[in-house]
Homo-oligomer: A and B are copies of this chain.
Amino acid sequence: MDLAYTEEEEEFRARLRAWLADVLPQLPPRPDPSDWPGRRAYDLGWQRRLHDAGYAGLHWPVDAGGQGATPTQHLIYLEETERAGAPYVGANFVGLLHAGPTIAAEGTPEQRRRWLPPILRGDEVWCQGFSEPDAGSDLASLRTRAVRDGDHYVVSGSKIWTSHAEVADWCELLVRTSPVTDEVPKHRGISWLALPMDAPGVTVRPLRTLAGSTEFAEMFLDEVRVPVGNRVGDENDGWRVTMVTLSFERGTAFVGEVVACRRTLTALAAEARKNGRWDDAVLRRRLGRLNVEFSALWRLTQWNVSEAQRTGGVPGTGGSVFKLRYSHARQELYDTAAEVLGPDSLDLDREWNLDRLSSLSYTIAAGTSQIQRNIVAERILGLPKGR
Contacts and interface: CB of A to CB of B under 8 A. Distances in A.
Interface of A: 280-282, 285, 386-387
Candidate in A280, A281, A285 with the most chain B CB atoms within 10 angstroms: A281
Nearest to A279: B281
Nearest to A387: B387
Given A281-B281, A281-B282, A282-B285, 5 more contacts: A280-B281, A282-B282, A386-B386, A386-B387, A387-B387
A189 B277 CA distance: 65
A272 to B, nearest CB: 15
8 contacts: A280-B281, A281-B281, A281-B282, A282-B282, A282-B285, A386-B386, A386-B387, A387-B387
Contacts of A281: 280-282
Contacts of A387: 386-387
Interface pairs A-B: 8 shortest CB-CB: A281-B281, A282-B282, A387-B387, A282-B285, A281-B282, A386-B386, A386-B387, A280-B281
A386 B282 CA distance: 41
A387 B386 CA distance: 8
A282 B285 CA distance: 8
A141 to B, nearest CB: 15
A213 to B, nearest CB: 33
A281 B278 CA distance: 13
A285 to B, nearest CB: 6
A281 B285 CA distance: 10
A386 B386 CA distance: 9
A386 B385 CA distance: 13
Nearest to A281: B281
A281 B277 CA distance: 14
Nearest to A280: B281
A290 to B, nearest CB: 15
A387 B387 CA distance: 6
A280 B281 CA distance: 8
Contacts of A280: 281
A209 to B, nearest CB: 27
A281 B283 CA distance: 10
Contacts of A386: 386-387
A303 to B, nearest CB: 30
Nearest to A285: B282
A386 to B, nearest CB: 7
A387 B385 CA distance: 12
A282 B281 CA distance: 7
A33 B340 CA distance: 51
A282 B287 CA distance: 13
A109 to B, nearest CB: 46
Contacts of A285: 282
A335 to B, nearest CB: 17
A233 B181 CA distance: 50
A276 to B, nearest CB: 15
A307 to B, nearest CB: 33
A378 to B, nearest CB: 16
A309 to B, nearest CB: 40
A285 B280 CA distance: 11
A381 B285 CA distance: 38
A280 B387 CA distance: 49
A285 B282 CA distance: 8
A365 to B, nearest CB: 25
